[in-house]
Amino acid sequence: MIDLAVVDLSRLQFALTALYHFLFVPLTLGLSFMLVIMESIYVMTRRPIWRTITRFWGVLFGINFVLGVATGITMEFQFGMNWSYYSHYVGDIFGAPLAIEGLMAFFLEATFVGLMFFGWDKLKPHAHLFVTFMVALGTNLSALWILIANGWMQNPVGSAFNPDTMRMEVTDFMAVLFNPVAQAKFVHTVSAGYVIASVFVLGVSAFYMLRGKHVGFAKRSMTVASAFGLAASLSAVVLGDQSGYALTDNQKMKLAALEAMWHTEPAPAGLTLVGIPSMKDRETHFGVHVPWVMGLIATRTIDKPVEGIFELVATAQDRIESGVIAYDALEKVKANPQDMAARGVFETHRRDLGYAMLLKRHVADPRQATPALIQQAAWETVPNVPLLFWSFRIMAGVGFAMIALFATAFVLCTLRKHDTRWFLRLAVLAMPLPWIAAEFGWILAEVGRQPWAVEGVLPTFLGASSLTAPQLWATIVGFTLLYGALAVVEVRLMLFAIKKGPFHEQETFGEPSPEAPAERAPAPAVA
């Protein structure tokens, strides 16, 4: 039988690594294009202050970039070490986007990132701007290919199980590439990264303003951050809604769970604002509902229902029973590849084979499962409803708060009221919020598809390697200590760079500050 403790520890290890990794990646995604905007202003105006602004935020980008790469490489290795059967079973499809990511994106950004940092005095301004753009392009292309791979796990299009090789194989790579779930995840994720970077720039600039230091630098950085952040926060919310709409077609259980919708309601379904979902009672206590809203969001209509958990469990039970038939036919094909009758039965029921595999959590041979066990396995397709319910609401609440924050920042910057002290304090305090939202978004996406490693194809517990609990505990402790230390180092380096300020180099070598004339002017303008 499968050692579920090993599976749970493998999941914990990967989750810790992913959560650490996702602390750094969104900031890298957003800062890269903010650097392009800032340097473009420098190239167009040739004002030294914008060169200083770009170089300062570039230093912070570089510190964060290194940590993102270090944690990302570890995650790549985990697929082969902790999830070897997963890699064997779906590697033909899953491995292709990751390989392209390494060849097209990672090497692109790795090649140009050195030129970006050390080429300021070697390259012409427009050439250096091109280098910065290529770094930003490579960074975002890297996210694209990774999210194509992840999107396929959520919606396994363009692939089919081959009974002769006993593996999933590509049937249409373009379908994998243009997977609607992957596209929605990409634009939503990068928008969230742009929000994080904007809040970071806004918060650090506000800190300088409150201290009365580097005022001209801070005003210009705030102006860029407010405009970029407003566009990004609006985009994140709108595209997040599109991601939710995509769940209607391929991940109905995740949608029902994050809304704690236990029963199918008459169309259009209402939205539960708050409540206390109970896995034990299988209902939501003290729910506050808003009529129609959920139906409009999930289906874009007023006449299509949103299926509830109970109804989806009944569907899962039917698919498990169909999957057992597929499993039986597959065993006959394995015993006799020339058995055309068995192949015909398998082809009829093949789409449900993964559901039969859910029974392997309890019995070695799914054909031996009792009706009660099949019903139990059907209920195991329900993820952690309370966790998803509150993760979604925290993420969405922070998203709307970011729109309000950046709208206020944009208005204040437009009116040249950068020094509004209550807003400056608010901007500093708001800095952790988008990171919190991003982490909860990751939890929502990954916990929401459980018990599947690949939706409807491969249960998570079947994908793990044959490791032992002590081995996994040793790596969990090791990774936690290592990444914890790296996180402390990064924060200290960031704080050190912020403390030094953007004009440290000029002060060290006795060069005049490009900001000095502007600060002596009675009414400085933001270019």
Q: pLDDT band at residue 332, thresholds of 50, 70 and 90? A: very high
Q: pLDDT band at residue 516, thresholds of 50, 70 and 90? A: very low
Buried b / exposed e along 217-234 (16+ C-beta atoms within 10 A): bbbbbbbbbbbbbbbbbb
CA–CA separation, 468 and 479 (whole Å)? 17
525 in any annotated domain: no
Q: Do residue 198 and residue 115 come from a single domain?
A: yes
Answer for the pair 106, 138: CB distance below 8 angstroms, yes or no. Answer: yes
520 in any annotated domain: no
Answer for the pair 358, 455: CB distance below 8 angstroms, yes or no. Answer: no
449 in any annotated domain: yes
95-145 residue pLDDT tens: 889 888 888 777 788 789 989 999 999 999 999 999 999 999 999 998 999
451-506 residue pLDDT tens: 999 999 999 999 988 888 899 999 899 888 988 888 898 899 999 999 998 876 54
Question: What does DSSP assign to residue 431?
Answer: T
Residue 230, token pair as written in the block: 């407003």
Which residue is associated with the tokens 């032992």?
A: 468
Q: Do residue 43 and residue 166 come from a single domain?
A: yes
Pairing of strands 458-459, 159-162: unpaired
Question: What does DSSP assign to residue 171?
Answer: S
- How many domains does the chain divide into? 3
Q: Do residue 99 and residue 187 come from a single domain?
A: yes
Owning domain of residue 361? 309-379
225-257 residue pLDDT tens: 999 999 999 999 888 777 777 777 788 899 899
CA–CA separation, 432 and 440 (whole Å)? 13
Cα dihedral across residues 235, 241, 242, 247: positive or negative? positive
Which of 355, 379, 403 is the endpoint of a domain?
Answer: 379
521 in any annotated domain: no
Q: Do residue 437 and residue 506 come from a single domain?
A: yes
Angle at 93 between CA 322 and CA 479, to 5 degrees: 105
Contacts of 424 (CB under 8 A, 6+ apart): 206, 207, 209, 210
CA–CA separation, 282 and 301 (whole Å)? 27
Q: Do residue 147 and residue 182 come from a single domain?
A: yes
Q: Do residue 388 and residue 479 come from a single domain?
A: yes
CA–CA separation, 171 and 326 (whole Å)? 20
Summary mean pLDDT of the chain: 89
Q: pLDDT band at residue 66, thresholds of 50, 70 and 90? A: confident
Q: Do residue 476 and residue 414 come from a single domain?
A: yes
Q: Do residue 210 and residue 67 come from a single domain?
A: yes
Q: Do residue 60 and residue 147 come from a single domain?
A: yes
Shortest CA distance to 261 belongs to which of 290, 284, 295? 284
What is the model's pTM?
0.90
Q: Do residue 57 and residue 133 come from a single domain?
A: yes
Q: Do residue 389 and residue 368 come from a single domain?
A: no
181-232 residue pLDDT tens: 898 889 999 999 999 999 999 999 999 999 999 999 999 999 999 999 999 9
CA–CA separation, 433 and 384 (whole Å)? 24
257 in any annotated domain: no
Interval 77-85 mean pLDDT = 84
Instruction: Classify 260 as helix, strand or coil.
Output: coil
The pLDDT assigned to 512 comes to 52
Which of 364, 379, 394 is the endpoint of a domain?
Answer: 379
61 in any annotated domain: yes
